[in-house]
Structure 1
Amino acid sequence: MNEAREFKFDEISVFCIIRDLLKNLWVILLAAAAAWLAVTGMMSFRYVPEYTAQATMAVNAKGSSSAYSSLSLTNQMAGVFSEVFDSNVLKKKIAKDLGEKSIDESIRASVIEETNLITLQVTSENPRQAYMVIQSAIENYGEVSDYLFSNATLRIVQEPAVPYAPSNTMNISRIQKIAGLFGAAAVAGAIVLLSVLRFTVKTREGGKRSLDGRILEVIPYERKNKTVRGVLKKLNKSILISSALVSMSFCEAVRKTATRLDHHMQRREQKVLIVTSVSENEGKSSVAANLALALAEKGRKVLLIDVDLKKPALYKVFEKQQENRKYLSDYLEKKAGVKDVLFYEKKERIYTVFQKKGIHNAAKYLDSPEMGALIDAGRKKMDYVILDTPPMSVSSDAELMLKMADNAVLIVRQDWTDVRATNDASDTIRQTGVDFTGFILNAFFRENLWNSFREHSYYGYSRNDDSGEV
């Protein structure tokens, strides 16, 4: 199959994007905090506090305590005085008065509109220097202004004082908020982009286009814990179609899958079915168990064997942990016979062979005459033998079991395994000569928001599930 990818919008799953955003929410918040702190640090590094000393003066005629009779004329004269305070001549006199070559302080004089008042401000990085400069300016302005106005003088209305707080207070709250939002948005956008471009099966349409084989059915998400107590205590009850708590849509999807497999295998006189996946936690054990139950409902005689000797899970799915029970490894090690490990589950109406503990060197036991004899016995006595194998990417055990099987299906969990790895696994199955029926898409959200939240909510499976399965 040509793996060149042509992206389509129907491959986008809103739920996968939301899940990725929620899963990486801490990264988004961390990015927002980092941007916030970066702006704060940068602004603090560049911030230089400035102190402003201020005085207010009134323009008066010499020899008179009142302002000029004409307000417009007074205002004009005040404007000229403001230019005097900003002149280089006065700055040189101030520098000489303070014993310095020059002054770097900013001197600003502004006229208060419709008055004869002048506001004089001196800004400096040193509060004491600002005060000394403004005092010197007040004391020396007369030597400059006398050349312009011999009949006008300034009267101090408000004396200057040493400033105690910076006049350019750093107010970066708005910039911090913008930076935080931008940082969060940038990381969230990157997460969304990676989620969309990740080459996994996210929708049925995407699966049809990218998977190299037939899609048998899409099994929706089913919540494991249906009660508040179960959610709080994380009881992780198994999801079996025999349970009254399981939704109708989940049961129907499993039964449809079982019916299609039944028709397919009956026509070809096949009995041994392998249920496997590429990666861990894709749900193969749950699917294998439910397929066995669905076939038993149709009156088929089914044997379900857990051949995942490294990380068995079926005994947890069925919650069968009897202390006196014999397991598959006991039979393969010749410590028990077939009848000792074969159990009929009355409630589920299926026969089972379980494994409880993982064992080393599983391949040696699976590729043994005893394993072949067990499957041959199942062929003679049962309508179907379902083998729950290890994931194909984890070990070669699944490939060892293929030579004993007639048919195989691959479980593909939504947005879990790279499509290329899944297609490689299907090619491996075909190369062994086993009939590959197709893919079962498991734990898929419906894109219809209402139906999804009402019936097919995410049911708590995680990549670190203790059972090793979903």
Structure 2
Amino acid sequence: MSSLNAVPGEVDSGATALRDILGIVRDKWWIVLIVSLVCGVLGMAFSWIQQPVYKSTSTLYVSSAPSNDPASAYQGGLASQQRVASYVSLTTSDEVISNALEVSGVSLSQSEAMSAVSASAAPDTVLLSVSAVSGDPREASVLVNAVAAELVRYVAELESPNSGGPALAKLTVVSPGQVEDAPVSPQIVRNTFVSVMVGLILGLVLCLVLSRLDSSVRSEEAVRRITERPVLSSVPSYPGTSSGNVVDFSSGSTPVAESYRKLRANLSFIDIDNPPRLVLVTSAGASEGKTSTALNLAASIAESGKKVLLVDADLRRPTASRSSGVDIAVGLSNYLHGDGDILDFVQSSRTVGLSVLAAGSLPPNPSELLGSNRSGAGFQVLRDSFDMVVVDSPPVLPVADALVVGQWLDGVVFVVRSGSTGVTDAAAAIRQLDIASVDVLGVVINDVPASGTGGEYGYLADAGDREHS
């Protein structure tokens, strides 16, 4: 019934929180493992260095004076049960302990012997257990038997009537203390297990604390807290993530290739009637994978049979030009200087269907050139000449290039690197794009750990393995 009355929002938020926690543990499982192992080793080492403690136990039976009357015998049994509780306290009395030490010859002080001896009574019985612990198993046995014998004598003295006659109750040793070879402490296996469990809890807490302190973007949920723009794709980690390499789309449905195909498809669905044709790819800061995203987005669109142009508008550090295998000496900057028509500087790349407009020589005033009317006219020519134009630009926060060139384009694909891009930086960059009236089409999460890219990529990876086996 409670599940029927549950508020959907509360259920969804609880499920989301659980997924976030599981994601944190999945990403930082090694922290949990290391902390658990360290605590386990420390617990084991601490147990090993402890002095072994041995325990010996003697069991005594409490009985009342015999009687032929059944009612009296029953009352005597009840009285014996009541006496047991008193005898527990008598076990560690000064007289019992001092006499036991004198008789046994055990070299312990009065206080040490009192700490070593304990007694307990089983509920609803007339059995009394007396125990003694020591670092020497023989000493524990001698001490507990001496205490038991002295307790028998002392109880007989206390229970004997002043007028004479048999004692009202007596103690009988039914099980003397034995010399035990196995120590009761330390329990190495138990202590190690408990230490590992404590380490597991500490590791989980540490993961959650580190996650709270980590201000980087790691999930789609983090992106949703920054912007309402959709996540267009999550690109799993691969060797070329940071180097600007083009994925081999001919190798089949690999997780990386499919992530860029997903980006291509989602871009086309943003506006079915008027899909974006001039797309800027940028990021908040450097080394977040914007150039790799631009290259592979362009290559994935070319794979679909469209005529695609990749423009390297990073006139400061033109990585895309160098990664495309074209002549980087001439390109966009030459056109902006008035050296010819923009199509004169377009080159063919190694990827079928993909042309490249390199950055060209590096000018001293990139922002001014990219924001000029000549720049706008050139991009209009490119719109009319190609099915799709993908533009790589410098990051938003360090320089204004992306903001000024964005005015000539249909929108921006904003790239963040999982675990690297700060939430504050990403939010600030998107805010600057909004102020400049540059439409952010969506976000790409780059360099996502393979375990966090979703089940569909695992399915595709398995399928690819079967195809190549």
Q: Structure 2 length as normaliser, TM-score?
A: 0.56
- 5+ unaligned residues in a row in structure 2: which ranges? 1-8, 61-76, 78-82, 121-127, 167-174, 465-469
Match of 1:36 in 2: 40
Query: Within 2, Cα distance between the matches of 1:447 and 1:26?
Result: 15
Q: What amino acid does structure 2 have at the position aligned with 1:366?
A: P
Match of 1:9 in 2: 13
Deviations 1:302-324 (A, max 9, x none): 352151744725644x4x3x7xx
Q: What are the within-5 Å matches in structure 2 for residues 29-68 of structure 1?
A: 29-37=33-41, 39=43, 49-51=52-54
SS in 2 for 1:392: coil
Q: Indicate how the Cα distance of structure 1 residues 354 and 10 shifts in structure 2: closer, same or farther if over 3 A, else same.
A: farther
Q: What amino acid does structure 2 have at the position aligned with 1:436?
A: D
How many residues were matched structurally? 402
CA positional deviation for 1:251: 2.5
Q: What amino acid does structure 1 have at the position aligned with 2:37?
A: A
Aligned partners of 2:407 and 2:438 also within 8 Å: no
Tell which deviates more after alignment, 121-130 or 30-39. Answer: 121-130
Query: Within 1, Cα distance between the matches of 2:204 and 2:223?
Result: 26
CA positional deviation for 1:439: 1.7
CA positional deviation for 1:295: 6.9
| 2:427 counterpart of 1:411 | no
| 2:408 counterpart of 1:428 | no
| 2:189 counterpart of 1:173 | yes
Match of 1:392 in 2: 396
Q: What amino acid does structure 1 have at the position aligned with 2:32?
A: I
Query: Within 2, Cα distance between the matches of 1:301 and 1:95?
Result: 98
Aligned partners of 1:259 and 1:295 also within 8 Å: no
Match of 1:239 in 2: 247
Q: Indicate how the Cα distance of structure 1 residues 210 and 224 shifts in structure 2: closer, same or farther if over 3 A, else same.
A: closer
Match of 1:277 in 2: 283
Query: Within 1, Cα distance between the matches of 2:108 and 2:226?
Result: 80
CA positional deviation for 1:95: 4.8
SS in 2 for 1:364: coil
Aligned partners of 1:201 and 1:419 also within 8 Å: no
| 2:314 counterpart of 1:307 | yes
Match of 1:24 in 2: 28
Aligned partners of 1:305 and 1:354 also within 8 Å: yes
CA positional deviation for 1:272: 6.0
| 2:228 counterpart of 1:218 | no
Pick aligned residue for 2:348 from 344, 349, 357: 344
SS in 2 for 1:396: coil
Q: Indicate how the Cα distance of structure 1 residues 103 and 265 shifts in structure 2: closer, same or farther if over 3 A, else same.
A: closer
CA positional deviation for 1:24: 1.4
Pick aligned residue for 1:254 from 264, 279, 304: 264
Query: Within 1, Cα distance between the matches of 2:204 and 2:177?
Result: 53
Deviations 1:396-433 (A, max 9, x none): 1544753774444032448654555434323312433x
Q: Indicate how the Cα distance of structure 1 residues 415 and 13 shifts in structure 2: closer, same or farther if over 3 A, else same.
A: farther
Tell which deviates more after alignment, 168-177 or 10-19. Answer: 10-19
Q: Indicate how the Cα distance of structure 1 residues 189 and 288 shifts in structure 2: closer, same or farther if over 3 A, else same.
A: same
CA positional deviation for 1:222: 6.0
Query: Within 2, Cα distance between the matches of 1:101 and 1:259?
Result: 87
Aligned partners of 1:56 and 1:119 also within 8 Å: yes
Query: Within 2, Cα distance between the matches of 1:251 and 1:331?
Result: 31
Deviations 1:57-77 (A, max 9, x none): 9xxxxxxxxxxxxxxxxxx9x
Aligned partners of 1:282 and 1:411 also within 8 Å: no
Aligned partners of 1:203 and 1:414 also within 8 Å: no
CA positional deviation for 1:23: 3.1
CA positional deviation for 1:284: 2.5
Q: Indicate how the Cα distance of structure 1 residues 372 and 239 shifts in structure 2: closer, same or farther if over 3 A, else same.
A: farther
Deviations 1:261-290 (A, max 9, x none): 896588xxxx86432122456543243234
Tell which deviates more after alignment, 277-286 or 97-106. Answer: 97-106
Aligned partners of 1:224 and 1:238 also within 8 Å: no
Match of 2:441 in 1: 438
Pick aligned residue for 2:460 from 455, 458, 463: 455
Q: Structure 1 length as normaliser, TM-score?
A: 0.56
Q: What amino acid does structure 2 have at the position aligned with 1:351?
A: S
- 5+ unaligned residues in a row in structure 1: which ranges? 1-5, 58-75, 111-117, 152-157, 460-470
Deviations 1:74-124 (A, max 9, x none): xx9xxx9xx8998755644455575987474356899xxxxxxx9997644
Query: Within 2, Cα distance between the matches of 1:279 and 1:104?
Result: 70
| 2:189 counterpart of 1:184 | no
CA positional deviation for 1:170: 1.3
CA positional deviation for 1:32: 1.7
SS in 1 for 2:282: strand
Q: What amino acid does structure 1 have at the position aligned with 2:354?
A: I
Aligned partners of 2:410 and 2:439 also within 8 Å: yes
Aligned partners of 2:40 and 2:196 also within 8 Å: yes
Aligned partners of 1:343 and 1:351 also within 8 Å: yes
Q: Indicate how the Cα distance of structure 1 residues 258 and 440 shifts in structure 2: closer, same or farther if over 3 A, else same.
A: farther
Q: What amino acid does structure 1 have at the position aligned with 2:412?
A: V
SS in 2 for 1:454: helix
Query: Within 1, Cα distance between the matches of 2:305 and 2:152?
Result: 112
